Structure 1
Amino acid sequence: MRDQEPAPAQRADRRLSTQETAELLGVKPETVYAYVSRGLLTSRRAHGRRGSTFDAAEVEALARRNRRESMAGSSPDELSVRTRITLIDADRYFFRGVDAAELAARHSYEEVAEWLWTGALRPGARFVAPKEALAAARRAVNGLPEHSSPVDRLRVAAVAAATSDPMRYDLSAQSVLGAARSLIPTLAAAQPLQSPTYADGEPIARRLWGRLSYQEPDEASLRVLDMALALLVDHDLAASTLAVRVAASARAHPYAAVSAGLGVLESPLHGAASGLAHRMLLEVLDRGNAGPVVADELRAGRRVPGLGHRLYTSEDPRARALFAALEDLPAAHPALAAARDIVATTARHTDLHANVDLALAAFTVTYGMPPEAGETIFAVARTAGWIAHALEEYEERPLRMRPTGHYVGARPPQPLPEPPGRPEE
C-alpha cells in the first residue's frame, strides 16, 4: 500500500478553505495565516460564511516551493533538513543562535528546554508529572525483569505515560508542549531510587540525582548535573533525532516520537558511549596509568571511548564546558586527571580530542554512579531536543521524510522460488 499524501487540487481556479489549504501544505491552520502575514499567500473572505478562502493555484505553487526548499542542499547520499533549532559551526554549537555552552552555564535545564521549544525563556521553569502518568509508568517499569537497562525502563515509561494521556493525538503546539513538560519528569522518575526521594516540582537535576547515586549531593554537584542536562538537550540531526523527525513526519504523537528516539539511543555509537568511557576511566584509576588501558582497547580492535567527534576538529565544546565545571569540584580531580591521561596518551600518535562522553564519564565516576548513568542523563536531556524537532516537523509537509530506495537486487522477472527438495530416502 502506498503512503498517503494530500491530493493536489483538481482545478487551479478553485477556492480552498483554510482547512483544505492547511492539508495541502501539510501545516496547521494557524500556519496558513502566518503565510498570509508574510505575504506568501493571499486570502479572500468567503461569501455567505465565516472564514477565508485561498486560490488553489497559489497554494499549489507554495506547496511545490516548500518541497523544493526542503530538499535544497541535499544530495543522493546525504539527507538535508531545514531547522531553526541547533547550529554547529567552527567547533561551537548554538541553540536558536545563542551559544549553547553559555546558555547551559547560566540557565537551568528546564529553562534551556523552554528556549529550544518556544524561543522564549521562562525563568524558574519547572516540569511536573501528572499523578496518573507517574503511576502508570511506575507500574509498567516495576513489571520489567530485574536487570533491564535504563533505556528499557525509559521506553516502557514513555509508552505507559502515553496511555494515560487522552490528548496525545492532539499535535497542536500547546498540547505537545504540555505532553513534554509532563513526560520529562515521568522519565526521570522511571529509574530505581538510589537515595532519598525528592518532591515533584523540584528541578529535574535534583529529582534525577536520587535515581543515579547513593551519595547526597551538594548544590555544586547538582549544578554540574543540571549543566550536563542542558548541554545535551540537542545536537543537530543525531541518529536518534532523525528517527524522531521521521516519526513526527508520519504524524506520530509526541510520546511515540520520543519512543523512536529512545529506540535508536541504545547504541555504543550513540547514547551508550559514555558507559564505555566510564568503565575505561575506572580501569585507569585502578591501574594508575592510561597507557596499558589504551593499549588493551586498541589490541582488542576497539576505538578508545570518549575521543573524537565527526563534527568537531578540536575538543567537543560540551566536553570543554563540563570539564571546566568539574574543575571546581575537588572530588572530581582524580577522574579529571585520569581523563587527561587518556587524552595525552592517545595524542602521541593521533589527533583525537575529548568528547562529551569522556566528560560525562568523569562526572558519573566521581559520584559513584553506575556505568549506565551517563546514558540515562543523555536520554532524559535529549527528550527536550526530540520534542523541539517533533514540533518543527509537525509544521512540515506530512511524510516528507520518506527517501526512495535504490534497488540493487536481481532484475525482474524472476521465477517463483521453489521449496527445498525433500532429502533422499
Structure 2
Amino acid sequence: MTMTPSRYLSAKEACAELGIRPQTLYAYVSRGLIRSETGDQRQRTRQYYREDIERLRRHKELRARPEVAAEQALRTGDPVLESALSRIDDDDLYYRGISVSELARESTIEEVAALLWTGDRSLRIEEFAGEARLDRVSPALVAGLVPLSKVEQMQAILPAIGAQDPTAFATAPPHIHQCGARILRFMTLVAAAQDKTVSGIAQTLQSAWLPGRPETARLIEAALILCADHELNVSTFTCRTVASSGASLYAVVTAGLSALQGPRHGGATGRLEALWDEAESANSVGDTVTSRLKRGDVIEGFGHVVYRGVDPRAKILMELLEEAVPNSSELALAKTLIEEVGKRTGLAHNVDLGLVALRRTLGLEKGTALLLFCLGRIIGWIAHAIEQYQTGRLIRPRAKYTGPDPRHASG
C-alpha cells in the first residue's frame, strides 16, 4: 500500500528539495513564500509546508525553461493571472478572505454576490430587491424553450434579456452590479420554471422546487454559495478571456454556460447519478465500486486536483444535510459511497458528490445538482468579468508552434 507523503518537510529536506542553503530557506519563510510550524518542542525544530516547497521548486524549474512555462501552468494548475476573489489554502476555500463555511451558514446568496462583485457583502444591490418578470421578455421565445435543457434555455434567453437591459454594456460600478443581479435573477426564473421571483433567489427556487418546505431554502442557499467561485476552472477562464475582449456580461455568461456543458466540466454530476443508481440497486455498494474500478471507469464525485483531502465544499454540504435530515436513506448511501470509494482508492469526496447528495436527499429532480452549480457559478463568472474589465487588458496567450519547419516544408 502506498503511503501518503507527509504534509511537512524538515529544514534539511526542504533545502535538499530546493537546492538551497538554510539561510535562503529562512529568507523564504520571512518573505511569506514558505509557511512553517513548530515541530519538536524539545528540540525547538521547525517543519515546513511541503506544498509551498513543491510550488517554489516548480517555479524555479519553469524559470529555467521559460518555453514550457505557459503550457505547464495551464496543465498543472499553477497560477496564470492574479485575482482577489477566491483563495484555496490548507484544504479550505475563501471568498475575499472569508471562509466559505462561514458564508454558507450565515450569509444569503445576494450578500455573497455583493461580496464577490464589490468586496462588501453588506452592500445592497438595488436590482436584487425589485421584481423580475420572465413573462415580459418574450412569451413566444419562452414557450419555444421548453424542449431544451435548463442550461440551454439560459443560453437561448440571455440575448433577449440583454436587449431590454439599459445596463447591458456597462463595465463599471454601480451599473455593472445591477446588470449582474438582473442576469442572476432571470437565470433563477429559468431554473425554477417561474414567471416572476418570490423574494430572494433561494426562496424563489425553494417555492418552485419544494413548495411547503421553507426550511429547505437554507440548504439551497448554502449550495449556491459554495458553488459561487473556485478560481480558474475551465468555464471561469473562458469568461475572463471573453470579458478581456470588452464583451458584455451577457456574452460572458453565455460563454461560461457553453463551457459548463462540456462532459469534462459540468457532466460529472450526471455520471455520478448513474453510479448512485447502480449502487442503490446493488446488493453491495463496495462491489459496485470495485466493478467500476475493474472496468477502468473514473469514479465521479471523488478527488480534486487542488485538494489533497476532502473538498471543503462537499464537507460543508454533508454537515448541513446531517443536521437537517440525519435519518435520510439517501444520506446514508452517500456516506457508504464515501467509505467504500475511500477504502479502495484513497480519494476523498468533492463538491459533485455533495450536490448530488443534496439533490437526492431533498427529492429534487435529476439535473438539479448541475443547475445549482450553474446558478451559483454565474456569480463567480460575473465577479471575474468585473475584475478583468478593471485591468483593461486583453488576454492574448501565444501558442508554441509544433508544425513543419517553413524553411524545409515543400509546397
TM-score by length of 1: 0.73
Query: How many angstroms apart in 2 are the aligned matches of 1:314 and 1:242?
Result: 24
Determine if contact 2:189/2:195 at 8 Å carries over to the other structure.
no
Q: How does 1:78-89 map to 2 (within 5 A)?
A: 78=73, 80-89=80-89
Q: CA deviation at 1:328?
A: 1.9
Q: Given the superposition, is the C-alpha separation of residues 217 and 230 from structure 1 closer, same or farther in structure 2, using an over 3 Å criterion?
A: farther
Q: Given the superposition, is the C-alpha separation of residues 159 and 297 from structure 1 closer, same or farther in structure 2, using an over 3 Å criterion?
A: farther
Q: Secondary structure at the match of 1:348?
A: helix
Q: How does 1:255-404 map to 2 (within 5 A)?
A: 255-287=250-282, 289-330=284-325, 333-399=328-394, 401-404=395-398
Q: CA deviation at 1:124?
A: 7.8
Q: Deviations over 1:219-264 (max 9, x none)?
A: 3311111111111110111111100100111111111011111111
Of the two, which has the highest radius of gyration?
1
Instruction: Find the counterpart in structure 2 of residue 95 from structure 1.
Output: 95
* Correspondence for 1:226 among 221, 228, 236: 221
Query: How many angstroms apart in 2 are the aligned matches of 1:239 and 1:162?
Result: 24
Q: CA deviation at 1:323?
A: 0.4
Q: Given the superposition, is the C-alpha separation of residues 326 and 123 from structure 1 closer, same or farther in structure 2, using an over 3 Å criterion?
A: farther
Q: Secondary structure at the match of 1:76?
A: helix
Q: Secondary structure at the match of 2:344?
A: coil
Determine if contact 1:274/1:358 at 8 Å carries over to the other structure.
yes
Query: How many angstroms apart in 1 are the aligned matches of 2:327 and 2:117?
Result: 33
Q: Given the superposition, is the C-alpha separation of residues 108 and 217 from structure 1 closer, same or farther in structure 2, using an over 3 Å criterion?
A: farther
Q: Secondary structure at the match of 2:384?
A: helix
Identical residues among aligned pairs (%)? 29
Query: How many angstroms apart in 2 are the aligned matches of 1:124 and 1:167?
Result: 17
Determine if contact 1:188/1:208 at 8 Å carries over to the other structure.
yes
Letter in 1 for 2:278: E
Letter in 2 for 1:306: G
Instruction: Find the counterpart in structure 1 of residue 204 from structure 2.
Output: 207
Q: How does 1:157-236 map to 2 (within 5 A)?
A: 157-191=157-191, 193=193, 200=197, 202-211=199-208, 213=209, 215-236=210-231
Q: Secondary structure at the match of 1:301?
A: coil
**Larger relative helix fraction:** 2
Q: CA deviation at 1:206?
A: 1.9
Letter in 1 for 2:359: T
Q: Given the superposition, is the C-alpha separation of residues 192 and 108 from structure 1 closer, same or farther in structure 2, using an over 3 Å criterion?
A: closer
Q: CA deviation at 1:330?
A: 2.7
Instruction: Find the counterpart in structure 2 of residue 43 from structure 1.
Output: none
Instruction: Find the counterpart in structure 1 of residue 57 from structure 2.
Output: none
Q: Secondary structure at the match of 1:127?
A: helix
Say if 2:409 is the partner of 1:410.
Answer: no
Q: CA deviation at 1:395?
A: 1.0
Query: How many angstroms apart in 2 are the aligned matches of 1:131 and 1:221?
Result: 22
Q: How does 1:73-152 map to 2 (within 5 A)?
A: 75-77=69-71, 78=73, 80-122=80-122, 127=128, 135-136=136-137, 139-144=140-145, 146=147, 148-152=148-152
Instruction: Find the counterpart in structure 2 of residue 59 from structure 1.
Output: none
Determine if contact 2:114/2:123 at 8 Å carries over to the other structure.
no
Query: How many angstroms apart in 2 are the aligned matches of 1:135 and 1:298?
Result: 51
Instruction: Find the counterpart in structure 1 of residue 19 from structure 2.
Output: none
Q: Deviations over 1:103-145 (max 9, x none)?
A: 1211111111111111112378772576576532664343136
Q: CA deviation at 1:269?
A: 2.6
Determine if contact 1:281/1:335 at 8 Å carries over to the other structure.
no
Determine if contact 2:206/2:216 at 8 Å carries over to the other structure.
no
Q: What stretches of structure 1 of length at least 5 have no aligned partner? A: 1-71, 417-425
Letter in 1 for 2:270: G
Q: Deviations over 1:190-219 (max 9, x none)?
A: 1363xxx695251111212355x3x42523
Q: Given the superposition, is the C-alpha separation of residues 351 and 174 from structure 1 closer, same or farther in structure 2, using an over 3 Å criterion?
A: same
Q: Deviations over 1:369-417 (max 9, x none)?
A: 2321111111111111111110100011331x1111111112226455x
Query: How many angstroms apart in 2 are the aligned matches of 1:272 and 1:138?
Result: 30
Q: Given the superposition, is the C-alpha separation of residues 137 and 311 from structure 1 closer, same or farther in structure 2, using an over 3 Å criterion?
A: farther
Instruction: Find the counterpart in structure 2 of residue 11 from structure 1.
Output: none
Letter in 2 for 1:391: I
Letter in 1 for 2:399: G
Q: Secondary structure at the match of 1:383?
A: helix
Letter in 1 for 2:145: L
Letter in 2 for 1:207: T
Query: How many angstroms apart in 2 are the aligned matches of 1:100 and 1:368?
Result: 25
Letter in 2 for 1:393: Q
Determine if contact 1:133/1:164 at 8 Å carries over to the other structure.
no
Query: How many angstroms apart in 2 are the aligned matches of 1:117 and 1:231?
Result: 16
Q: Deviations over 1:285-331 (max 9, x none)?
A: 33353123323433443211110111111111001100010012237
Determine if contact 1:332/1:366 at 8 Å carries over to the other structure.
no
Count of residue correspondences = 337
Query: How many angstroms apart in 2 are the aligned matches of 1:325 and 1:85?
Result: 24
Q: Given the superposition, is the C-alpha separation of residues 300 and 188 from structure 1 closer, same or farther in structure 2, using an over 3 Å criterion?
A: farther
Q: Deviations over 1:27-46 (max 9, x none)?
A: xxxxxxxxxxxxxxxxxxxx
Letter in 1 for 2:346: D
